[in-house]
A and B are shown apart, each in its own frame.
Chain A
């Protein structure tokens, strides 16, 4: 069974630009969560989508947004990029039973560098 896939794996952008990252969950998983990983702040929760609806959101500015499609694939968008947005962005998907204890399985991440 294929794991969580994320594209692209690496991105280089300049300040002020916008970027879209993509995540394909494990087949059959309906919940997708996004996390930002930086050396200074560690791993921080961005948002979670389930059945095309944002169910939970972390403490990030409105420049960070996301969506989920009917096939459970998800995208996140960052507008007006800042240097501090440079990070590894990780996507995780959860088993379809949708219980709170369901394990989240992570993708390899997208490394975003903002110059």
Chain B
């Protein structure tokens, strides 16, 4: 079945450091790929998405590129802020059929220190 593997956390960075959170997936065909962020005590917020190979999703300084050849969708940011501290989830949505079943990675806790 489909699966998503995320880099183990937690990750602690200083403000203005570069961030990379690795995400790889296993799925048939070309799934859509997502990054969601969860702040303490809240639900999930969509951060960015990509729906086909070589697409780049971007939002709030975060970027991720859909790499079919390496089945990856790594999240990157050039300069993190304290406000970026949260848990980040990589997820995929299969293309086949009408299923809305998101498969999530285990999440990566990010803490940014001032």
Contacts and interface: CB of A to CB of B under 8 A. Distances in A.
A8 interface: no
Main DSSP-derived SS at the A contact region: strand
B43 A109 contact: yes
Main DSSP-derived SS at the B contact region: loop
Nearest to B42: A108
A66 interface: no
Given A106-B36, A106-B43, A109-B43, A100 B97 contact: yes
Contact of A100 (B32, B44, B105, B107): B32
Interface residues of B, number: 27
B98 A101 contact: no
Interface of A: 4, 6, 31, 33, 35, 42-43, 45, 48, 50, 55-56, 58, 90, 92, 94, 98, 100-109
| 9 nearest A-B pairs in the assembled complex, by CB-CB distance | A43-B104, A106-B44, A106-B43, A108-B43, A45-B101, A101-B51, A101-B32, A48-B100, A109-B43
Given A90-B43, A101-B93, A104-B100, 11 more contacts: A55-B99, A56-B100, A90-B44, A100-B93, A100-B95, A100-B98, A100-B99, A106-B44, A106-B45, A107-B43, A109-B43
